[in-house]
Chains A and B, each alone.
With several copies, the nearest count.
Chain A
Amino acid sequence: MKAKIHVYLKPGVLDPQGAAVAGALHNMGYDEVTAARQGKLIELDLTGDDVEAARKRVDEMCAKLLSNPVIESYSIELA
């Protein structure tokens, strides 16, 4: 089984990377870009095939390690 975890900054939290990327795209002439945000994508390979059990475990991993609850949120996709 594979888990795809998307970790992103909570709304309202400053995203310096996103801001710099938007600036660089503007400098390169991509004026249609009005904002950019950058997040992390973590992919895990998992043994087992109980999707619901896996979701619980991955959720735990996210809360404990993969995201920083002070400034980040996350979402999980299992496949």
Chain B
Amino acid sequence: MKSAVIVFPGSNCDRDAHDAIEKVTGQKPAMVWHQESELPEGTQFVMVPGGFSYGDYLRCGAMASRSAIMPAIVAHAATGAPVLGVCNGFQILTESGLLPGALMRNAGLKFVCEKAPLTVENANTQFTSRYEAGAQLLVPIAHHDGNYFADTETLDRIEGEGQVVFRYGRNPNGSARDIAGIINEQGNVMGMMPHPERAVDDGHGGTDGLALFESLLGSA
């Protein structure tokens, strides 16, 4: 599968995303600069990586979500192609309206970096098919604004539609209903605060993120 990783000024997990994708597919993803207005020909999977795009100033992900490449990503998502946003990427996807809700300052107000216990709530997505439903994972988180917020109606709806994909075992940031990751209604755009790309080889101290990339990208 042809992949692309989007690079914004301040992205800092772009290389990590690149390496995880290459590890699973054997193919290097294209690194796409935010000022481009088109994705490379033939791109299938788009990953919006973590980091501090625009320094997290104003609102996390706000400025990145208004950059030149975004219309192309929105159009790409509309074709049903897979788009994954991790951490700052998740924030960018909510800011751009591709995913519902918003990510607010952590309830404890402090940055939190730890290996977070997660439950796979929905193993029937193209991102999670290689996990067992209900599987318990340990995946690193590292963020200051991961406190998922949406109004009750929206929360009820996404719960009902199976759009909550990952839930925290121990809520680290005040997220509504312990939500760690969600998917859109069509099932092709997913956002999550935990970093699966930081759990793909033994040197990371765990490989619980690997199956996510494998679900999506086939191989291994």
What is the interface of chain A, defined by CB distance below 8 A to chain B? 12-14, 16-17, 20-21, 24, 27-28, 38, 40, 64-66, 68, 70-71
Contacts and interface: CB of A to CB of B under 8 A. Distances in A.
A65 B95 CA distance: 9
Given A24-B54, A38-B58, A66-B58, A17 B105 contact: yes
Nearest to B67: A27
A12 B104 contact: no
Given A27-B68, A68-B59, 10 more contacts: A14-B104, A16-B55, A16-B57, A17-B58, A17-B109, A21-B57, A21-B63, A28-B66, A70-B101, A71-B104
Nearest to B97: A70
Interface of B: 54-55, 57-59, 62-63, 66-68, 94-95, 100-102, 104-107, 109, 147, 149-151, 174
A68 B62 contact: yes
Contacts of A70: 94, 100-102, 150
Contacts of B58: 17, 20-21, 24, 38, 40, 65-66
A13 B149 contact: yes
Contacts of A28: 66
Contacts of B174: 14, 16
Nearest to A71: B102
Contacts of B106: 16
Contacts of A20: 54-55, 57-58, 63, 109
